[in-house]
Amino acid sequence: MPILPLIDLLIVMGSVSLVVGFLFKAAAITTAYRPTLLGFTSVDFVLIAGICFGLALTLAARTWVKLNEPRLMALRRRASEAELRWQTGEIAQEAEAAESRSRRETPAAS
């Protein structure tokens, strides 16, 4: 099942509930009438909008991570290989330096 239509639906639901919440709040401020829809007040609609936007953001982030996971894993593997090559090169240089020091310290046989 494609995830993008679900993300779009959550964004639309969040936008609609945000508009309804603001309209209810405007009606509550300008008149004595306190509007509700199925028991939800203006604050409830704003909370619903926040939840919908948060879920849409979470789904989008998870989708992005899932799509980019192979590339990120390849980058991580290349970085660890480069670190390993650097460490082995450093170890080889240390061994070479120690060997050259030991050759200089031992007298040459004549």
Answer whether 34's CB lies under 8 Å from 41's CB: yes
Residue 49's pLDDT band, with cuts at 50, 70 and 90, is: very high
- pLDDT for 95 equals 77
109 pLDDT above the threshold of 70: no
106 pLDDT above the threshold of 60: yes
C-alpha to C-alpha distance for 47 and 66, rounded to whole angstroms: 28
Does the reported pTM lie above 0.95?
A: no
C-alpha to C-alpha distance for 33 and 70, rounded to whole angstroms: 56
Q: Is 86 helix (H, G, I), strand (E, B) or coil?
A: helix
110 pLDDT above the threshold of 60: no
Give me the mean pLDDT over the 43-51 stretch.
89
